[in-house]
Amino acid sequence: MSSDKMTPVVVSATSQPLVSIVIAITGSDAQPRTVIEGFAAALTTAGYPCEFVVVIDGPITRFDDELAELSASWPVFIVSLEGSGLGESIALSAGVAKAHGELIVNAPPYLQIEPADVVDVVKALEAGADCVATWRDRRVDPWLNQLQSRLFNGMLRVIMKAPFHDLNSGTRGFRSHLLEEVAVYGELYRFLPVLAARQGFRVVEVRVGHREEKGRSGFYGVGVYLRRLLDIVAITFLTRFTQRPLRFFGYVGFSAGLLGVLLTLFPLYDKIFLDESLSNRPLFVVGAILAAFGVQLIGFGLVGEIIIFTQAPNLRDYKVSEEIDGADDVEGAGHGSEGEIGYLHEPVPVDLSAGEDVAESAAADGVVADRAVDANRASAIGAKAVPGPIAVKASDVAIPEELPLRIRALLPGEDARWDAYVSRHPQGTFFHRTGWSRAVQEMFRHQSHHLVVEQGRRWLGVLPMFLVNGPFLGKNLVSVPYSVYGGILASDDRAHEALIAKAGELGKELGIGFVEMRNLEKRTGEYPQSELYVTFRCDLPEDPAEVMARIPKKRRAEIRASREPKAAATKNTRESFGITVTDDGTVDELFRLFSANKRRLGSPTLPKKWFQALRDEFGKAAVIHRAVDPSGRTIAAVMSFTFKDTVYAYYSGSLPEVNHTGVNNFIYCAIMEWAVANGYRRFDFGRSRANSGPAKFKQNMGFVAEQLHYEYLLVGSGAKLPEFHPSNPKLAMPRRIWSKLPLWLCNRLGGRLSRYLP
């Protein structure tokens, strides 16, 4: 094959690849067929047009016939480099230069990961990442390989604070323009995620299944380990000190100089004051050498600073995320309602000529529109997302009916698409949102296991779950902790059953007892259910003045007495209290009343930081109403959440000595009036235990109880429905004891126990 020549493969306009797989062959032990066939089948099944760029580094001809045969079935381009041993960094750059795809996946010349997991790498790039590092989870190679890899990556995390677990993984993804701004050479290709993150690009890590790497194990030799050590030193300097070389050389130089001075002090003292000779004092010689070496290193740092200073105007050690012209932005940006996605750019239009089904699929699931989501939005479950718009043609989206279902984990950067699906789904609730999941993960440190079922590139369902492990309920998966609603959202029964089956498999893998799905409504299938809880909801009128008319007569009288100006009772009139309700409550006020109520009920309270986390996460979508008496004292407070057309009255508290004022009825009436005035059409009073005091209070307000359909997958042997709840008679004594404890102690202990009571 001639130098830098590609095999003639024609790519039509309609089959322009979105993904390019770059494979560098540097030795005769490569296995390109397994890689190409495995990745091609996975990407094609997922609906991604792809191509393969095979870079041959050196005079290796044994793969000519094999690659020619593969090119008859798949778009395979061959780039042959002159010379030999140019290195994988050069091979990678050469392959990217010949690639046509916007998204690049660099893979080793053998199957290192499960082929289906390459789709997750591509989806993470589609979700907004500029670079994707892979983490070979649950390694299957020999223990020596695993130990070496852990030591290598552990050193990087300690020295460089790099949050990556497996930089030795040879599979990584990035956008085609990344190498234009991030230079790699030698063996620094393995540090591409670190260099990209330093440059300001958005880098995420995706877990992938590991395949056994036969013949690639054992002790690699002293030379390899020395090179790895030097690589760590080089990448540490390049990522931390290229803009400030004096700090690097100054640290080392000052340390060496100080040690040298200390070593020379005693010999110099003996020479000056005791007139002893220095000729037989090797310690003095060593100290003098170290001191001189330290001064030289500091001098190197100063020279480096001078070079950086003179070349600073030519350096571009940053990445511009976006540029917004104020006038154009105000005129062109679209703004949705509170909690909805606002677009920084016009959505890419769907090509209707590609077929009505394809266009509908792309538009419905955000394949096109979600490329233009707000670049400042936070990502999944723990990562910061800065997605940029990508133009994807509807013709590139495979027709869903031709593709199988695939269940996978939610990837970093897919939060906006998840939230869009939840918003569209008729059973989607506030607690299905990724913001709730982020708050749970950051506050309580539960591990998320969110699942997505898709057909090609079309989402058909989601299931948010967290692994909760504690002394009271054991180890279980809960959908969703600290919420009243959760469970599966699916577009059809097949997707629903697929998510159920996957949740069961995951549960067995994690060794749990049960999977709890807090369904608001009845779902398909027959699974064990708990009838412990009911919920209360109602439609709201169009006029705030009509809210009172829907409340039973006796409660209306209490509400009038509560809100009318304070006056003394007479024989013909009842006492009024002059209470007002406003929507400017604080977390401190809410927590004070909420925690006191929980102690009276004998239940542990949630930590104060949880309420603040919800306020920080959801902003105006988490509103706190407070009831204030004429003296200015806050006597009741309620935290409500807003989502779509619904207001969820969720956390509440009040002073027990003011129950006679009717403030509890009044504050909920005021919240409903506020909801109507702000355009909301439904009010959710939240769940209560059936036939409990709170349930009767809500029924007295005119609400009708609806059975909640909490379902359980009993995964572990001997697993049964949870019995750790307030209705259990066995907990009566602990609850009475708890209600007698000092409030400060209940708050402190409750904040810690709440982690195990989801």
The two tokens of residue 161 are: 């604070």
- Assign 371 a pLDDT band (cuts: 50, 70, 90): very low
Q: According to the model, what pLDDT value does residue 1 have? A: 40
The per-residue pLDDT for range 623-642, each reduced to its tens digit, is 999 999 999 999 999 999 99
Domain that holds residue 263: 245-314
pLDDT > 70 fraction of the chain, expressed in percent and rounded: 78
- Would you call 459 exposed, middle or buried from its count of C-beta atoms within 10 A (0-12, 13-18, 19+)? buried
Place of tokens 């008496």: 629
Provide CB contacts within 8 A for 725, sequence distance 6+: 532, 689, 731
Interatomic CA distance for residues 466 and 448, integer angstroms: 4
The two tokens of residue 7 are: 């095999």
At residue 150, what is the residue type? R
Q: According to the model, what pLDDT value does residue 153 have? A: 72
- Assign 97 a pLDDT band (cuts: 50, 70, 90): confident
- Assign 200 a pLDDT band (cuts: 50, 70, 90): confident
Question: In 3-state terms, the chain is what percent helix, strand and coil (to 5)?
Answer: 45, 20, 35
Phi-psi region of 670 (alpha: psi -120 to 50; beta: other; left: phi over 0): alpha
pLDDT > 90 fraction of the chain, expressed in percent and rounded: 45
3 SS3 class: coil
Task: Check: CB of residue 639 under 8 Å from CB of residue 650.
Answer: yes
Per-residue pLDDT, averaged over 487-502, amounts to: 95
pTM for the model:
0.71
Does the pLDDT at position 644 exceed 90?
yes
**What count of other Cβ atoms lies within 10 Å of the Cβ of residue 101?**
22
The two tokens of residue 195 are: 């260099």
Per-residue pLDDT, averaged over 368-373, amounts to: 35
Q: Do residue 282 and residue 269 come from a single domain?
A: yes
Q: According to the model, what pLDDT value does residue 331 have? A: 36
Does the pLDDT at position 366 exceed 50?
no
Interatomic CA distance for residues 499 and 465, integer angstroms: 11
Q: According to the model, what pLDDT value does residue 2 have? A: 37
Q: Do residue 528 and residue 554 come from a single domain?
A: no
Does the pLDDT at position 350 exceed 70?
no
The more confident residue out of 310 and 316 is 310
Q: Do residue 18 and residue 145 come from a single domain?
A: yes
- Would you call 697 exposed, middle or buried from its count of C-beta atoms within 10 A (0-12, 13-18, 19+)? middle
The two tokens of residue 387 are: 């997605």
Q: According to the model, what pLDDT value does residue 84 have? A: 65
Interatomic CA distance for residues 173 and 153, integer angstroms: 19
**What count of other Cβ atoms lies within 10 Å of the Cβ of residue 192?**
23
Task: Check: CB of residue 202 under 8 Å from CB of residue 163.
Answer: no
Does the pLDDT at position 324 exceed 90?
no
> Is residue 705 included in any domain, yes or no?
no
Per-residue pLDDT, averaged over 268-290, amounts to: 81
Q: Do residue 419 and residue 482 come from a single domain?
A: yes
Q: According to the model, what pLDDT value does residue 120 have? A: 92
Per-residue pLDDT, averaged over 198-223, amounts to: 73
Q: According to the model, what pLDDT value does residue 412 have? A: 87
Q: Do residue 220 and residue 308 come from a single domain?
A: no
Q: Rounded to the nearest 10 degrees, what angle do helices 553-563 and 663-677 cross at?
A: 90
- Would you call 448 exposed, middle or buried from its count of C-beta atoms within 10 A (0-12, 13-18, 19+)? buried
> Is residue 701 included in any domain, yes or no?
no
Does the pLDDT at position 297 exceed 80?
no
Interatomic CA distance for residues 474 and 467, integer angstroms: 10
Of the listed ranges 15-19, 109-113, 682-686, the one predicted with least confidence = 15-19
Per-residue pLDDT, averaged over 55-81, amounts to: 84
How many structural domains are present in the chain?
A: 4
Interatomic CA distance for residues 468 and 484, integer angstroms: 16
Q: Do residue 391 and residue 520 come from a single domain?
A: yes
> Is residue 707 included in any domain, yes or no?
no
Of the listed ranges 10-14, 156-160, 752-756, the one predicted with least confidence = 10-14
Of the listed ranges 99-113, 260-274, 460-474, the one predicted with least confidence = 260-274
> Is residue 686 included in any domain, yes or no?
no
Maximal CA-CA distance, the chain: 114
Q: Rounded to the nearest 10 degrees, what angle do helices 32-45 and 118-126 cross at?
A: 50
- Assign 12 a pLDDT band (cuts: 50, 70, 90): very low
DSSP string, 471-503: TTTEEEEEESTT-S----EESSHHHHHHHHHHH
Q: According to the model, what pLDDT value does residue 570 have? A: 58
The per-residue pLDDT for range 228-247, each reduced to its tens digit, is 666 666 666 666 666 667 76
Q: Do residue 209 and residue 274 come from a single domain?
A: no
Q: According to the model, what pLDDT value does residue 375 have? A: 31
> Is residue 320 included in any domain, yes or no?
no
596 SS3 class: helix
DSSP state of 607: P
Q: Do residue 236 and residue 287 come from a single domain?
A: no
Instruction: Choose one of 220, 240, 260: the last residue of a domain.
Output: 240
**What count of other Cβ atoms lies within 10 Å of the Cβ of residue 460?**
24
How far, in Å, are 224, 520, 683 from residue 537 at the CA level?
66, 11, 6
Q: According to the model, what pLDDT value does residue 658 have? A: 92
The two tokens of residue 134 are: 């892979």
Task: Check: CB of residue 723 under 8 Å from CB of residue 729.
Answer: no
Residue 473 is part of a domain; what is its CATH number?
Answer: 3.40.630.30
The per-residue pLDDT for range 326-344, each reduced to its tens digit, is 333 333 333 333 333 332 2
H-helix or E-strand containing 634? strand 634-643
> Is residue 448 included in any domain, yes or no?
yes
Question: What value does the CA radius of gyration of the chain take, rounded to a whole number of Å?
Answer: 32
Of the listed ranges 162-171, 387-396, 564-573, 648-657, the one predicted with least confidence = 387-396
247 SS3 class: helix
The more confident residue out of 107 and 573 is 107
- Assign 368 a pLDDT band (cuts: 50, 70, 90): very low
User: Regarding beta strands 131-137 and 103-107, do their DSSP bridges make them parallel or antiparallel, or are they unpaired?
Assistant: unpaired
> Is residue 373 included in any domain, yes or no?
yes
407 SS3 class: strand
Closest CA to 241 of 305, 298, 162: 305
Q: According to the model, what pLDDT value does residue 186 have? A: 62
Instruction: Choose one of 219, 240, 261: the last residue of a domain.
Output: 240
Q: Do residue 579 and residue 511 come from a single domain?
A: no
Q: Do residue 553 and residue 528 come from a single domain?
A: no
Residue 106 is part of a domain; what is its CATH number?
Answer: 3.90.550.10
Phi-psi region of 445 (alpha: psi -120 to 50; beta: other; left: phi over 0): left
The two tokens of residue 687 are: 């769940």
**CA neighbours within 13 Å on the CB side: how many for 285?**
6
Mean pLDDT of the chain: 80
- Would you call 113 exposed, middle or buried from its count of C-beta atoms within 10 A (0-12, 13-18, 19+)? buried
> Is residue 601 included in any domain, yes or no?
yes
Instruction: Choose one of 190, 210, 240: the last residue of a domain.
Output: 240
Q: Do residue 522 and residue 561 come from a single domain?
A: no
Of the listed ranges 47-61, 380-394, 412-426, 438-452, the one predicted with least confidence = 380-394
Q: Do residue 464 and residue 525 come from a single domain?
A: yes
Q: In what order do the strands lie in the sheet with 451-455?
A: 405-409, 451-455, 458-463, 489-490
